[in-house]
Amino acid sequence: MFYFIGLGLGDAEDITVKGLRIVKAAKRVYLESYTSIITGGKEKLEEFYGREIILADREMVEQNSDEILKDADKEDVALLVVGDPFGATTHTDFILRAKELNIEYTTIHNASIMNAVGCCGLQLYHFGQTVSIVFWTETSKPDSFYDKIAVNRKNGFHTLCLLDIKVKEQTIENLMRGRKIYEPPRYMPCSLAAEQLLEIIENKKEDGETDLAFNEDTICVGLGRVGCANQKIVAAKLKEFPCIDMGEPLHSFIITGNMHLMEIDMLKMFALEPTTIK
């Protein structure tokens, strides 16, 4: 059997009882290590689980999935995923590949940012499409997600923004030369996401757009390390976030839509200035 096991969002102890039982008994256990991070990393997991764990980086997950699936039709193999196994589309590819190889699979679900985001007080059924905000470069500043935010705002929905993670990335030069030299990991903070969002609306204004999806005074919510002991939540105007330090990664960002009175009262608990939340 091939097992997809969600680890939750906090630390090694967030695994389910069922998941832990499978981890202890499986022949091989892999940790998907590039779509998210977990407190303590691989070492803390091994200490708590009492067994060896194999790191599965981006290259292994996306290009050498057969290595992970090898012999899973004869023995139990597990892939550990921070959050929930289906929080990233990459893991759906594993299901399709397992099916091609006639390998049975089972999923052990857990909390992910997609549901834990409710910790800020915004109600889950008031969220629209989730978007991803990627790191900009001098030559690439994608903003196609703006249209999804616009649809959400038009319908009164909140938008969860998942912020970019760069792990085991190569420069173009090293990639072209075939050199296995990787850049240090980078995790987008809420402050940078806000800067890019502000630049997008400035560009829209320069292009003559007047009916913007959001503006500098739109109430947003920054979340840091959701599910961890040092979780941090801040509600403030978009224009204030470039100067807000949310601490260590991982961060997520929310652009609010129409808010229920109860949502407003909850956000005031996390507000820089409660009177701005309305």
Burial status of residue 50 (CB atoms within 10 A of its CB: 0-12, 13-18, 19 or more): exposed
Count: domains in the chain: 2
- Is 57 labelled a binding residue? no
Is there a domain that residue 6 lies in? yes
- Is 84 labelled a binding residue? yes
Q: What is the pLDDT of residue 171?
A: 63
Which residues, given as ranges, of the chain have pLDDT below 50?
none
Is there a domain that residue 56 lies in? yes
Q: What is the pLDDT of residue 234?
A: 98
Shared-domain flag, residues 247 and 139? yes
Is there a domain that residue 76 lies in? yes
- Is 81 labelled a binding residue? no
Q: What are phi and psi of 56, to 5 degrees?
A: -110, 100
Nearest CA-CA partner of 110 in 65, 80, 76: 80
Shared-domain flag, residues 7 and 93? yes
Shared-domain flag, residues 148 and 245? yes
Shared-domain flag, residues 250 and 205? yes
Among residues 92, 111, 130, the one where a domain terminates is 111
Among residues 50, 83, 111, the one where a domain terminates is 111
Q: What is the pLDDT of residue 40?
A: 76
Shared-domain flag, residues 259 and 124? yes
What is the chain's mean pLDDT, rounded?
91
- Is 224 labelled a binding residue? no
Q: What is the pLDDT of residues 248-265, one digit of tens each?
A: 999 999 999 999 999 999
Q: What is the pLDDT of residues 197-242, one digit of tens each?
A: 999 999 999 999 989 999 999 999 999 999 999 999 999 999 999 9
Q: What is the pLDDT of residue 90?
A: 66
Nearest CA-CA partner of 239 in 206, 191, 187: 191
Shared-domain flag, residues 140 and 63? no
Q: What are phi and psi of 42, to 5 degrees?
A: -55, -40
- Is 87 labelled a binding residue? yes
Distances (CA, A) of 41 to 45, 53, 59, 178, 274: 7, 11, 19, 29, 36
Q: What is the pLDDT of residue 272?
A: 87
- Is 234 labelled a binding residue? no
Residue 210 structural domain: 114-269
- Is 140 labelled a binding residue? no
Q: What is the pLDDT of residue 51?
A: 94
Q: What is the pLDDT of residue 94?
A: 83
Q: Which CATH number does the domain housing residue 150 bear?
A: 3.30.950.10
- Is 201 labelled a binding residue? no
Shared-domain flag, residues 246 and 141? yes
Q: What is the pLDDT of residue 195?
A: 98
Among residues 111, 138, 160, the one where a domain terminates is 111
Shared-domain flag, residues 66 and 179? no
